Each structure stands twice: as structure tokens, then as C-alpha cells.
Amino acid sequence: MTSPRSTPLRERHEALGASFTDFGGWEMPVRYTSDLAEHHAVRTAAGLFDISHMALFSVRGPERDAFLGYALAVDPAPLKLSRAKYTMILAPDGGIIDDLIVTRNAEDQFLIVANAGNRDAVRDALRERLAGFDAELVELDDALVAVQGPRAREILQQTSGLVHDESLAMGHALDTLPYYAAMGMRFRDSTVLVSRTGYTGEDGFEISVDADRVGELWDALLSAGEPFGLVPAGLASRDTLRLEAGMPLYGHELSRHVIPSQAGLGRVVPLSTKAADFVGRSALESGARADAPVLVGLVSDGRRAGRAGYPVRDGEDVIGEVTSGALSPTLGYPIAMAYVAPGLSAPGTELTIDVRGTAIPATVTALPFYRRTT
């Protein structure tokens, strides 16, 4: 059995009192102090996350656009310099191998960010699909950290050593960087890529940096963020934050057995605007079978939350299963995402969740559960 890998920040996490868990083959901090405190800090101020377990791939070469257009469910041609897009890599039957973010981070280059647990599957699929294209795929070993929360921009602006460099900025400034766009900056003597993206439902930034410099950047961010209420945050708070925001997690809401439309993500696949073929297209054009389950949100009263794997019932009939659930720290009541029979997916439908033998009433609701107001 292979031991979990550690990120370059492992010693810093230990010094901060982190508890660890195996996530996608990586030993990652699950919390530092309190799940709730870290969650609320991100909603009200900011949290600092180590996301160096994520997989990074660079794509270059004369036929990079054509390659990505075939390999992924994305049309890269309209993606201008610095712009990013959420997309997927699909199996031939339309099942989801992984969900990704693709950024045109140079005129002649794309950056792909994939989930840690799918690193091998994504790499293998991309390499296989590279055949016949004049393009190059390189796996990167850069580290990633994320600053998420309403004070995130202020914290980056106050971070010692992180400075604007016009030659790297791709026409942007930090105070006007659009959502789902990236810019290069200088951190001391290193180049970093700052992307206005995240997985919490809050504003924020994800920063790619050389692995041997990430410790210095982590320290500088913590120091700059302390007056603003920044705290280090682990996977437990990241999970409740993304659940409130209705963001899917691979292995829970997304899998090889689900096509994008079932997960409410048909909009991210450009069937109507992308003329070129891509792997999985014909399966998506055929669509899911009529009785294929679809993803919904569920809300309940009380304090008992449905968890992943709990049955969802209509009367005595099991009609679905919870994929993620928790007592929402922000909203104060139980929330869950679940796959249910399509005939019972309309908002307002009354169902129950079997919580360890107790039928807890739950109402279907539109996602997301939480949306930031600014």
C-alpha cells in the first residue's frame, strides 16, 4: 500500500496544530482549530488553504487549441489570454473523468488544474488523446495555495514581497482582475500566477508558485492576513463551504457513472456552439436515459443532517441517495445534495432522508444554498 504524499507545507501545518487526513492520496490538513471557526472566517474575513495536492498540467505546441478542443469538453479558441474556464474531461460514454479549470496563461500555453485523486486518470487520458496532434503535455510540480473570503484581495495587496510586474500581468491589475481570470505577479525573485478562482462560494484567489518558495509565500500571506482575520483553513471547512455554494465534489456528485446534464452542468459543455468533435460528444448528444437520476438540493429542519450514502425516500420507496450533506454553519439548518428520480426533482417536492433509521423530512430546493451578495 502506497503511503500518502505530503505537500511542501507539511511542517508548517504541523507547527500550526493541524490534524491530517488522507485525501486523494495526499496527507492533508483537515482542520487546525475548529471546523466552524475556519468556515466562518472564510465567510466573514478570509481563510488560507494549502491546495498543493491538485494536479497541474501545461499544454503547448502549434496544435494546442485543437488538441484541447478534442480532449476536453471545452472550446479553447474563444479563451483569450489570461482567461480561465471550468470544464470537464469525459470518457467516450459521456461519464466524467474529472472536472477541471483551464487557463490560457500565455499566448502559446494553457494550464490545466485537475483534482488530486484523478491525477493519474487525467494524465493518462490526455496522453492517449495527444496522439496525432503537434502539442506537448507537461506535468508540473508547482505548489498551490488559496486565499478565500471577502478580505482576500486586501490581504494579497498587503503581502510582503508580492508585487505587480507589468511584464507578467497580462494586462491586469490585482484590484481589477476579473473573475475567472489570471495574472502573473512577482513574489520576491519568483514568478507566481494569481487566478481569481476558488472552491468556497466566496471571492478569492488561487496562487501557483514554485514548490521551493511556497513556504515563504504561506508565511507572508499569514502575516499580512492576521490584521484582517485570516486563518489557516483545512479540508473540513472547505467541504462545508463548497457544499453551501452547491459546488460538486468528484467522487460524490461527479463520477464516471454520471454525465454532466445529470449533475446540472450541461451548460458547461458547448454542444450548440462547438462545431468540433470531442471525446464523449456523441454520448452527450444522445442524452441521459429518461429515468436517470438528477442532482438536487435538499433542506431540512432541525439539526440532523443527511450524509453521503444516506437513502432518500418518497414515502416508503427509495428514490435516491445523498451525495454530500451537513448542518450548514452559515445557514443554521441541514443541507444536502442528492441524486433523485427525475420526476421528484422539482423545487418544493417533499421527500425524506433516512438518517440512521429516522425519516427526516426534506424539501427539494434549487442550488446553490448560499450565494455571496457582493
Report d(CA 6, CA 120) in Å as an integer: 17
Q: Are 334 and 304 in contact (CB under 8 A)?
A: yes
Is 27 annotated to bind a ligand? Reply is no
Q: What is the phi/psi pair of residue 335, to 5°? A: -130, 155
Report d(CA 328, CA 46) in Å as an integer: 18
The one-character DSSP state at 174 is: G
Q: What are the E-state strand segments in the chain? A: 19-23, 26-31, 46-50, 55-60, 84-90, 96-106, 109-114, 136-140, 143-148, 162-163, 182-187, 190-195, 204-209, 230-232, 294-299, 311-314, 317-327, 334-340, 350-355, 358-365
Report d(CA 220, CA 187) in Å as an integer: 10
Neighbouring CB atoms inside 10 A of 361's CB total: 13
Residue recorded with cell 500571506 = 221
Q: Which residues are part of a known binding site?
A: 206
Q: Which residues are part of a known binding site for substrate?
A: 206
